[in-house]
Amino acid sequence: MPLAQLDLVALRRWVITARADLAAYAEALNRLNVFPVPDGDTGSNLLLTMSEAIDQLGTDGPGDLRDATATMARATLVAAHGNSGVILSQLARGVNEVVSQVEGDALDGHDLAAVLSRASQLARDGVSRPERGTMLTVAGAAASAAVSADSGGADLPGVVDAAVNGAGAALLRTRTEHEVLRRAGVVDAGGAGYLLVIEALQRVVRGEGGLAQRPAAEPEWLRISAQGSAVRNSDPAVLDGCDGHGVAGGPAYEVMFLLEESDAPRVATLKGTLDGLGDSLVVAGGPDLWSVHVHVDDVAAAVNAAVGAGRAHRFVITRFADDAAAGALVVLPLVASDGMAQAVRDAGFVPVQDATPAQLRSRLRDANALVLCGSPHLRELADDAAAGGAPHGAPDADRVQVVGTDAAQLLAALAVVVPDAGLQAAGAAARDALEGVRSLRVVSAVGDDDAMREVRDFVDGLPGDAELLTVVVGDPGPAAARLEAALRSAYPLVDVTVVDGGAGEPPLTIGVE
């Protein structure tokens, strides 16, 4: 049933759904990324920004909409990765600013139109040199369509539908509006990510629950970009000599940092200095905390300017050439059953089943690998293989990372892992996801009343509200179907996903997020 208002429960559902959608399409977004630099990380940056921010929302557990949106606004600003992550943080800030001005604990269609309008303006104000055919264009189109629908008397679902339609049409136009995108034959990656986020809101408002699944038919923006991506990947000369502005060369470093204990005049001076040093400058936030992103050649000058503007901290400096040279990440999901192997394939990964210790050591010897484990036994196997495959008998965290101890944790990690993000980012995303998962292994038969009682006691005893409940069943059948129906009835506001694990899994493994 469609929602008339967006309350705290719906807000949480929105951000969780958006994270799942970004995870489903992160690699596709990375392949489209040619602007402002073709470093193939837009999908990863958006996913990491959303994942780290949502973890704070779940941990802090604010009790009302104002507290929740304030937490989310600050969390996305602090967690922002890359140019696109900083711009995404302005959507969260727009939500918070509108919530702080309305009465009650929910947003209607008029309020949502104001949210999208404010988010678009904040994002545009933060970019030093706005260009057509970018993420800003898509955000602006979503806002304009939402405001127009609200003026025509549309309710919340109508406003959201209009925003999605407006953003979708604008995204398709980016392929011809921006010279770099036109040459590459792709739509703007950041704009596609923004569309995914508001499409997640549309699904929530329309009452369509469940985690994101890649549809059988690719969305139009991805379909029309596929040929361009293929040409660019097979012939990198398509973009030779161009940075994000179509200019030969381009800055060699990305610099990001947080700024506190400053003020508007000093931030304005900082923006002028950084804009003269490089490009792709985005400054978001205020009045107490700012996130700054810029591409430069002179890192020392950028750091000195930052330090002179206030308390600058959490510097992240990346050399684009290092990103390009980084080895490809191998994700190894270790599973104990045919059912879990199929679940891994459904998530877009290749399962590893029945591997011997020697085989696993061989896989890890020269790999840049993230190992996800579906049981305690598989975790022991992976830890031993990682240690045995290392030159000095100890796992090298820069080369191999091992995460997880049960099937529910493995599935939660797969939902956020992006291989293109690299080992450190992918490993951090997996561990962050597991911090929000509480697991239970039930040894009672699925059909026993004791099993249902144990599950209910476990879920009810968790702090905060459960959003996602994953059930891996070792013995699928009528009893499992009855359990699923009982859980959906007992927790109507929770997304319940049941996986038929089959032989090799415990009778029940429960994961709650």
Alpha-carbon dihedral 336, 338, 339, 343, rounded to 10 degrees: 90
248 pLDDT band (50/70/90 cuts)? very low
pLDDT for 1: 81
**Is the pLDDT score of 212 beyond 60?**
no
Residue with more model confidence, 394 or 490: 490
Instruction: Give domain status of residue 220, yes or no.
Output: yes
User: CB-based contacts of 419: which residues, under 8 Å, 6+ apart?
Assistant: 27, 328, 329, 330, 331, 426
Residues 147 and 211 in one domain: yes
The answer to whether the beta carbons of residues 159 and 149 sit under 8 Å apart is: yes
**Is the pLDDT score of 409 beyond 80?**
yes
By mean pLDDT, which of 48-57, 116-125, 439-448, 492-501 is the weakest?
439-448
Q: What is the mean pLDDT of the chain?
A: 82
CATH number of the structural domain spanning residue 235: 1.25.40.340
CATH number of the structural domain spanning residue 297: 3.30.70.260
Domain that holds residue 461: 439-512
pLDDT for 51: 83
510 pLDDT band (50/70/90 cuts)? confident
pLDDT for 368: 81
**Is the pLDDT score of 470 beyond 80?**
yes
pLDDT for 36: 62
Distance CA 420, CA 425 (A): 9
pLDDT for 179: 84
The answer to whether the beta carbons of residues 422 and 329 sit under 8 Å apart is: yes
Q: What is the pLDDT of residues 121-130, one digit of tens each?
A: 999 988 888 8
Residues 347 and 317 in one domain: no
Report cis status (omega within 30 of 0) of the bond before 492. no
461 pLDDT band (50/70/90 cuts)? confident
- Inter-CA distances, 338 with 343, 403, 404, Å: 9, 21, 19
236 pLDDT band (50/70/90 cuts)? very low
Residues 460 and 398 in one domain: no
By mean pLDDT, which of 160-169, 278-287, 379-388, 468-477 is the weakest?
468-477
By mean pLDDT, which of 9-13, 112-116, 272-276 is the weakest?
9-13
Give the residue-averaged pLDDT of 13-18: 89
Instruction: Give domain status of residue 213, yes or no.
Output: yes
By mean pLDDT, which of 16-30, 184-198, 276-290, 476-490 is the weakest?
476-490
Instruction: Give domain status of residue 196, yes or no.
Output: yes
47 pLDDT band (50/70/90 cuts)? confident
**SS3 sequence, 152-189?**
CCCCHHHHHHHHHHHHHHHHHHHHHHCHHHHHHCCCCH
By mean pLDDT, which of 290-304, 317-331, 401-415 is the weakest?
317-331
**Is the pLDDT score of 270 beyond 90?**
yes
- Among residues 45, 12, 63, the alpha carbon closest in space to that of 200 is found at 12
Instruction: Give domain status of residue 1, yes or no.
Output: no
Residue with more model confidence, 224 or 248: 224
pTM: 0.65
Long-range pairs of 454-460 with CB within 8 A, sequence gap ≥ 24: 455/483, 455/487, 455/508, 455/510, 456/490, 458/510, 458/512, 459/491, 459/510, 459/512
Residues 308 and 361 in one domain: no
431 pLDDT band (50/70/90 cuts)? confident
Q: What six digits make up the tokens of 10?
A: 């719906």
Residue with more model confidence, 64 or 476: 64
Instruction: Give domain status of residue 346, yes or no.
Output: yes
Final residue of a domain: which of 191, 215, 239?
Answer: 239
Residues 36 and 175 in one domain: yes
Give the residue-averaged pLDDT of 296-318: 90
H helix runs in 80-155, sequence order: 82-99, 109-126, 135-151
**Is the pLDDT score of 22 beyond 60?**
yes
Residues 448 and 480 in one domain: yes
143 pLDDT band (50/70/90 cuts)? very high
pLDDT for 152: 96
pLDDT for 223: 84
